[in-house]
Structure 1
């Protein structure tokens, strides 16, 4: 029970990596708060699964790119669950597009959700943790794309590099309050964000061929690392980044 009686909150928690992490946090003893852009009805299955673990579940529908969503989310968390111990910034989008004709609105939306949304949420969570005075843990879901390029991701990779950098700087800014900040960098994980891209079986197999463990990732592969970084077992880890990519990055040669 790595998160026994702690409050765990995550953005983009209704599906994919966020859902897997939320469920693992509940299994590890945490009450869980989720925000996502989908309706409550769409999020109900994960909320029921959390409650089936004997834990409380809270949901807020909202767009992380709007600063007021962060304020509302922290307000709901403190009202319903009494505080905040572990916060995960996970919400993100990746609308694949070529560079030379990338529409400005696609760039603006990607930066708004992935980078500004992470900033607003992390800042609000950090302020709540400082008010509580008992420290805490913040984890951001960055990407292997923070470290490597992609021809159809020129608008996406800078946001993930920014999230990675945000955790490094936040670790310095918040260490004095006992708040640890770390990032996880997933490789290719089968989620809705890349469903269309991976529908090309030839491309999917080419990706697998670069991965020493011989398979693409699944959302559950991120749940354990996220929970670990939020737990007391990682009590002296801050400003770090953890690649969760099956070994892909070290095999890119």
Structure 2
């Protein structure tokens, strides 16, 4: 029970890595604010996740609002304060990656990706940090970045800069917020099989190639990211801030 009675906000939590993180936090005793896009198609998933968390003996509420909206962070914080008395942990996980070539990248796709992955993250982190400062008991902020923060991708020229951005945001926030006892760290997943890359990995040749690049011999599952997030959120990581944790099965270091 590493997060017993903690109040945790997770964005992009109705599916994939966010959902796995929400369930893992609940298993460790946390109450969870589930941030999701607000689309009608996502609402049943958020409601199902609330039921699963309740079955674990913890409480959860859902807030449907676009991750790219600068006001969404304030809505998430208000939900945490109103329902659970405050904010102990904020996990910025929401992100999109509509794969597209660079030379003909539509402005709309680029701007939506940057707003969702980076601009919205900035304001949500700011809202959570202000609440943590007000509470006066510190806290933990974790951004789900990506191995893509460290390497390029021909079909991800709009995506990789946003993931490098949230990594850099955590490094700078670690410096800015350390005086308030607020720790800021980033998790860098490798290739995790989620909705975001399902179409890309449906190509068996590419899927098998990515597996071959991974020393552990398999692609990641969302559940593989939940544990590292709980660790960084917990007191076990009380002297860890400004860090970046690769969770990629060894893919990044495999240069052979």
Shared fold, TM over 0.5: yes
Residue in structure 1 matched with residue 69 of structure 2 by the alignment: 66
- 1:100 aligns with one of 92, 103, 112: 103
Q: Tell me the TM-score normalised to structure 2 length.
A: 0.98
Residue in structure 1 matched with residue 207 of structure 2 by the alignment: 204
Answering whether residue 88 of structure 2 is matched by residue 80 of structure 1, we say no
- Deviation digits for residues 201-228 of structure 1 (CA, Å, limit 9, x no counterpart): 1100000000000000000000000000
Q: CA deviation at 1:121?
A: 0.8
Aligned length: 253
- Deviation digits for residues 47-75 of structure 1 (CA, Å, limit 9, x no counterpart): 10101111110100000111111111111
Residue in structure 1 matched with residue 23 of structure 2 by the alignment: 23
Give the Cα–Cα distance (whole angstroms) in 1 for the partners of residues 107 and 31 of structure 2. Answer: 40
Residue in structure 2 matched with residue 246 of structure 1 by the alignment: 249
* SS at 1:67 equivalent: coil
Q: CA deviation at 1:44?
A: 1.1
- Deviation digits for residues 156-198 of structure 1 (CA, Å, limit 9, x no counterpart): 0000000000000000000000000000000000000000001
Give the Cα–Cα distance (whole angstroms) in 2 for the partners of residues 198 and 41 of structure 1. Answer: 26
Query: Runs of at least 4 residues of structure 1 off by over 2 A?
Result: 38-42
Residue in structure 2 matched with residue 222 of structure 1 by the alignment: 225
Give the Cα–Cα distance (whole angstroms) in 2 for the partners of residues 184 and 72 of structure 1. Answer: 24
Give the Cα–Cα distance (whole angstroms) in 1 for the partners of residues 76 and 161 of structure 2. Answer: 26
Q: CA deviation at 1:77?
A: 1.1
Give the Cα–Cα distance (whole angstroms) in 2 for the partners of residues 77 and 235 of structure 1. Answer: 22
Give the Cα–Cα distance (whole angstroms) in 1 for the partners of residues 7 and 71 of structure 2. Answer: 21
* SS at 1:251 equivalent: coil
The alignment's C-alpha RMSD in Å is: 0.7
Q: Unmatched 5+ residue regions in structure 2?
A: none
Which shows bigger deviation, 35-44 or 159-168?
Answer: 35-44
1:84-233 matched pairs, under 5 angstroms: 84-233=87-236
* SS at 2:227 equivalent: helix
Give the Cα–Cα distance (whole angstroms) in 1 for the partners of residues 233 and 11 of structure 2. Answer: 15
* SS at 2:49 equivalent: helix
Residue in structure 2 matched with residue 7 of structure 1 by the alignment: 7
Q: Tell me the TM-score normalised to structure 1 length.
A: 0.99
Q: Unmatched 5+ residue regions in structure 1?
A: none
